[in-house]
Amino acid sequence: MNTEIPFCRTPVVAIVQARMSSRRLEGKVLKDICGSPMLAHVVGRLSYSGLIERIVVATSTDPSDEPIARWCEREGVVLYRGELDDVLDRYYNAALAFGARTIVRITADCPLIDPQVVDGVIAHLIDGMYDCAGTDHTYPDGLDTEVFTMLALRKAWQHARWGSEREHVTPYMWKHPERFRLLRLPAPERLGHLRWTVDEPADLELVRRIYGWFQGKKDMFFMEDVLKLLRQRPELMEINRGIQRNEGYQRSLREDRLVRSV
């Protein structure tokens, strides 16, 4: 696979969406994991990507997100601030502000994000000239990666109407295969039962245990390293077993249906 980026698709900008007002675990993106906030781990892991040219943290202008802005300023991390609930608008304007041609969407509650997986999605989108590409449900929840062109983002920004489409950025693209060239990438094996994202206190406990295991052993660890650990220590998977995947998006869909029924 060719991993050289054609000029027409550069620059590749990773936009990490982050907010403090999580409904289930408030302030989770700055929760401590082995001495550093979760957001620091996400940004740090993305810095190992060979294809991402700039990393931007996109938070809101709401006063509740001042701690994120202060952390970015203190750490020298590029920051964009926009709409709180209309995350699609936040992404579009962040991408405009930084001249993005290819956008990588990452959420700040995925502290085990794998830069090798991210680079694979970027390369597939570029090589195949897709409008939007992403990992599918066979990957662990928490390795979610979506990559799309600026043109696709602009179309979604112009035409998406439902709350679920505006809050979760890409549903409009995935729901309209007649308008976009789409690609879902499966994992090497079925791993969708694994939960590596952070929405609940139990999720945070698991991630802290994983980071604690690798601390002092590896500067960087990847999906395969975590899988090996969990196979050696299967009791770790019991810590957050049974939590619903994509609960936030499902809630947004329910809210959309309520609006439609009025």
Which sequence spans correspond to the domains of the chain?
A: 9-261
Question: Digits of tens for pLDDT over the chain (262 positions)?
Answer: 333 333 344 599 999 999 999 888 999 999 999 999 999 999 999 999 999 999 999 999 999 999 999 999 999 999 999 999 999 999 999 999 999 999 999 999 999 999 999 999 999 999 999 999 999 999 999 999 999 999 999 999 999 998 889 998 999 999 999 999 999 999 999 999 999 999 999 999 999 999 999 998 988 999 999 999 999 999 999 999 988 765 654 444 445 554 554 4
Q: For the chain, what percentages of helix, strand and coil (3-state, to nearest 5) are there? A: 45, 15, 40
Indicate the residue type of 23.
Answer: R
The matching CATH number, chosen from 3.90.550.10, 3.60.20.10, 3.40.1390.10, 3.40.50.2000, for 9-261 is 3.90.550.10
Indicate the residue type of 48.
Answer: Y
Q: Tell me the HSE value of 205 on the side-chain side, using a 13 A CA sphere.
A: 10
Is residue 39 within 8 A of residue 30, CB to CB? The reply is yes
The predicted structure's pLDDT at residue 164? 86
| H helical segments located in the chain | 38-46, 66-75, 87-97, 115-128, 150-159, 163-167, 171-174, 201-214, 223-232, 247-261
**Distances from the Cα of 212 to the Cα of 56, 68, 110, 197, 198, angstroms:** 27, 24, 16, 16, 16
pTM of the predicted protein model:
0.89
Helix (H, G, I), strand (E, B) or coil at 156: helix
Indicate the residue type of 208.
Answer: R
H/E stretch holding 183: strand 182-185
Q: How many CB atoms lie within 10 A of CB 81?
A: 19
Rounded Cα gap, residues 77 and 56, in angstroms: 7
The predicted structure's pLDDT at residue 246? 58
Is residue 123 within 8 A of residue 51, CB to CB? The reply is yes
The predicted structure's pLDDT at residue 219? 87
Q: What is the DSSP letter of 80?
A: E
Instruction: Find, among 154, 116, 155, 159, the residue nearest to 135 by Cα.
Output: 116
Rounded Cα gap, residues 69 and 56, in angstroms: 12
The predicted structure's pLDDT at residue 10? 55
